Chain A
Amino acid sequence: MSTAPTIVLNARALERTVARMADEIVEQADGTESLVLVGIQRRGVQLAERVAKVIAAREQVTVPRGALDITLYRDDLQTVGPRPIVGKTDIPCAIDGKTVCIVDDVLYTGRTIRAALDELADFGRPARIMLAVLVDRGGRELPIHADVVGRTVDVPRGGRVDVGVVEIDGCDEVTLVLAGEAT
């Protein structure tokens, strides 16, 4: 009999975690002056939105934020079968000399972030690029690490971490799904 997935963060916990991440991002970026938040499609975009809201409430500034769809920069397009759907990329301001903080839901192999770094380079030359992720689940295949981590989760072989955000999935929740478990 399969067990139910483990809840890593419920809606309240997720809100607190995002608030702390927002504080850490501002701290590490030395303020909000040159900060630009860039969320990765999908769910990273919504998380970047939340981070921006927290920053707006605490610092009384609106941090520019954009969306990045990395599909066209993937390194596995030749092998993934049917072509993945391309999402919207929208970088609203020049990023030259800025501190760009990439926001994503789950950091795993690091390949998405590699693609995001390549794509950002086509938009300009930021002074610094940071990475903030809600969940770091380990399993890196590239030398990439996150500057700000919401929660580190040990995922056994065959398991995965699902992040839900209310805008896409109907509720805010992070769950750990083990091999063989129903979702």
Chain B
Amino acid sequence: MSAPLGKDLLGLEHLSAGQITLILDTAEPLREISERAIKKVPTLRGATVVNLFFEASTRTRISFEFAEKRLSADTVNVATAASSVTKGETLVDTAKNLEAMRIDMVVIRHGSSGAARFLAERIESNVINAGDGTHEHPTQGLLDLLTLRQRFGTLEGKRVCIVGDVLHSRVARSNIWGLTKLGAEVAVCGPRSLLPSAIADFGVQVFDRVEQAIEWADALNVLRLQLERMTAGYIPSLREYNRVFGVTRERLDRAPRDLLIMHPGPMNRGVEIDSEVADGPHSVILDQVTNGVAVRMAVLYLLAGNAPALAEAAKGGNR
């Protein structure tokens, strides 16, 4: 029996392989709920979940909202542009005010690394990190793991290469933690300007050429290239990036085996990934989206009601 998750999901770094497997094993049967005519189970009836998004997000927020609604939770979306945050209210004040209205869980997306932990240590509600700065995006990592596990059966010994802007990517970090814990071999590939200087500390291989990555890997996780990286001088131009690091049909055709192709979205077609590849037979990009709802349902289910003891500890530590 694996250890329960505790109060919050802040990242994959501090989860055990057993805890990650528990989430994936729970997500697996939950996929079926989204296939029903009535896509709803009563599990979280009466629970209130606040989606607190300090950064733009379409896919992740919608995915969380579907997950919450399919478990019968009541949901409120707070987006910064329309909230008191623009009037200078602090993160904790915002959350404390929400808690005063008796909420149960907070899903937070924030531009600062560590924001989710900061909040989790100060409120009693369960906190789920939906992306904090360049730190982690655990539910994206989990849905990537679930997608790979469904295709491969196991992650043990499988080779996964993360291609692109690893430096700024919380998706990359959550993937590296999760994949290595479940026994996969991990590599990264991208321009040196977009790889963390201490990348070797993560225990991953580094490929400077995408051809090498394709030759080595069983699956590629192609990251979105933030277009503002070009103006910031990390790469010379989008066309240059595509020429050197783009995942193209021609490059994949030379691979010794079929590679699974993943992308966390939204895609820049023709930059980091070509349309032919994104829509090709080995792309599991839409499976990732489907799995995202199931994984988030699993996290909500496993965390809900788990709060009391840890919340007490968190409160005590704060005084």
Contact = CB atoms under 8 A, between A and B. Distances in A.
Contacts of B301: 72, 83, 86
B69 to A, nearest CB: 14
B37 A123 contact: yes
A47 to B, nearest CB: 20
Contacts, number: 45
A78 interface: yes
A181 interface: no
Nearest to B70: A72
A89 B302 CA distance: 18
A83 B4 contact: yes
Interface string B11-53: 0000000000000011011101100111011110000000000
Contacts of A72: 33, 41-43, 71, 301
Nearest to B298: A86
B29 A122 contact: no
Contact of B43 (A77, A87, A122, A124): A77
Interface of B is mostly: loop
Contacts of A82: 4, 306
Contact of A123 (B26, B36, B302): B36
- If over half of A's interface residues share one DSSP class (helix, strand or loop), that class is named, otherwise mixed; here it is loop
* Range of interface residues on B (Cβ < 8 Å): 20 to 34
A89 B33 CA distance: 9
A64 B33 CA distance: 20
B81 to A, nearest CB: 35
B302 A83 contact: yes
Contacts of B40: 122
A36 B42 CA distance: 24
A58 interface: no
A88 interface: yes
Contacts of B37: 122-124
B29 A73 contact: no
Given A69-B29, A72-B43, A89-B29, A83 B306 contact: yes
Given A83-B302, A85-B26, A73 B42 contact: yes
B305 interface: yes
The 10 closest A-B pairs by CB, nearest first: A72-B41, A72-B43, A122-B38, A82-B4, A88-B29, A86-B29, A83-B302, A86-B26, A89-B32, A78-B305
Interface of A: 69, 72-73, 77-78, 82-83, 85-90, 118-119, 122-124
10 contacts: A72-B41, A73-B43, A77-B305, A82-B306, A83-B305, A86-B26, A87-B29, A88-B28, A122-B37, A124-B37
